[in-house]
Every structure is written in C-alpha cells, then in structure tokens.
C-alpha cells in the first residue's frame, strides 16, 4: 500500500518510468476484464491502451478510498461498457435469454464436425475441446456476468470488491455468480458425459 502510494506520487509528479511500472503491474487485470467483455479481437488491445490513458489522466484524483486494483478494474469495466453501448451490443440481457439459444451454437457444431472415424482423441485434445466449448459458452453470457466470473476466478477478488467495480450490491454479485456458474455447468453436462468431465 505504501509502495503503491509512492508509485502514484511519482507518476503524478511526471515520472514516466513509474507509470510504466504501474502498467506492467496491472496490465493482466485490465486485459482480463477487456478481453472477457469485448469479443472483437481487433479492438481489444486498443481498448486496453485507452484504459491506461484514462488511468494516467485521473490518477491524481485517486484518493485511496478503495484499493488501486479495484479502481483500475472499474475504469476498465466502464470503458468496456461504453464501448459495448456504442457498438449497440445488448448489455442487460437476462440469463434466461442465453439459455434458450443453446441448441445449434457454434461450439457444438465445431465439436460435431470432428470426423468420427479418427482414433480416440487423446486427453489433451479432449481438454482442449472442453476448454473451447466453455470459452464459447462464457462468451454468450451478458457482459456483467462475464466480468463477475473473470474478476472472481482470474483475479481472485471478493464479492465486495466486484460490487464496487460493477456498481452492484454484494448480494447481487453473489447471486449472479451462482447463476452463471450453474448455467455453465448445465451446458457442460448437456454436452459431455460425467466420464469425459473427470480429470
């Protein structure tokens, strides 16, 4: 925390090297949020840059009322939401909507197109297949759900921190997380047998 304050003071004073350190410390977090929320590969890195430019501009206003990571993730989240609004992507879809279109989704057709006559895929290939299937299923969730899953599982943030980032009460974060994981699990069980899912 103290080290972080010193780093911020240096950046605000105009130390370019200090800002580079901050970018390196937080680029993983920003990348997680942006890459999970924005599907368009061409725009993602540009958006990550934009997030850091905003961080640089507003750092002097950071008041240590929250953790720096929470503040940074909030900027990343809001930048993505604004981007998606501009692209007119549906933002507040409910999970029910995504459940309905499960038959015929792209991941399923990808997996079914694997010719049946080939020798049994090895463990690695099965893992890869499940991973792709999951990736696809996650990408079909509404953006808030994707952000929550990412912040909880990849960045190990608490419900409270996630609530601050996406501006929702802790209880709502918890129930969204529960519903999203339950839905994804059901998708997996529809697609794979229990044996296939065992490690």
| CB of 80 closer than 8 Å to CB of 66 | no
| C-beta of 117 vs 144, nearer to other proteins | 144
CA neighbor of 145 nearest in space, from 177, 185, 99: 177
| C-beta of 8 vs 184, nearer to other proteins | 184
Q: Return d(Cα 84, Cα 86) in angstroms, integer.
A: 5
Q: How far is the CB of 190 from other proteins (least distance, A)?
A: 10
| CB of 138 closer than 8 Å to CB of 146 | yes
| C-beta of 71 vs 152, nearer to other proteins | 152
Chain residues binding other proteins by CB under 8 A are 16, 19-20, 23-24, 27-28, 31-32, 35-36, 45, 48-49, 52-53, 56, 130-131, 134-135, 138, 149-150, 152-154, 178, 181-182, 184-185, 188-189, 192, 194, 197-199
Q: How far is the CB of 24 from other proteins (least distance, A)?
A: 6
| C-beta of 50 vs 164, nearer to other proteins | 50
Q: Return d(Cα 43, Cα 80) in angstroms, integer.
A: 11
| C-beta of 2 vs 193, nearer to other proteins | 193
CB neighbour class for 27 (10 Å; exposed up to 12, middle 13-18, buried from 19): middle
Tokens of 75: 């900027």
| C-beta of 24 vs 112, nearer to other proteins | 24
CA neighbor of 79 nearest in space, from 43, 49, 53, 47: 47
Measured between its terminal Cα atoms, the distance across the chain in Å is: 39
Q: How far is the CB of 48 from other proteins (least distance, A)?
A: 6
| CB of 29 closer than 8 Å to CB of 73 | yes
């Amino acid at each position: 925390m103290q080290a972080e304050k010193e780093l911020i003071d240096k950046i605000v004073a105009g130390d370019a090297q200090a800002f580079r350190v901050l970018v390196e410390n937080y680029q993983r977090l920003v990348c997680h949020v942006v890459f999970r929320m924005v599907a368009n590969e061409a725009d993602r890195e540009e958006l990550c840059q934009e997030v850091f430019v905003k961080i640089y501009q507003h750092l002097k206003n950071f008041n240590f009322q929250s953790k720096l990571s929470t503040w940074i993730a909030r900027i990343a989240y809001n930048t993505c939401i604004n981007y998606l609004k501009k692209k007119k992507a549906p933002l507040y879809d409910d999970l029910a909507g995504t459940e309905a279109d499960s038959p015929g989704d792209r991941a399923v057709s990808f997996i079914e197109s694997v010719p049946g006559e080939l020798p049994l895929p090895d463990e690695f290939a099965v893992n890869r297949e499940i991973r792709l299937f999951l990736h696809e299923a996650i990408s079909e969730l509404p953006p808030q759900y994707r952000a929550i899953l990412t912040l909880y599982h990849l960045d190990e943030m608490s419900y409270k921190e996630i609530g601050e980032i996406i501006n929702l009460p802790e209880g709502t974060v918890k129930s969204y997380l529960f519903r999203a994981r339950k839905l994804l699990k059901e998708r997996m069980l529809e697609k794979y047998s229990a044996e296939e899912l065992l490690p």
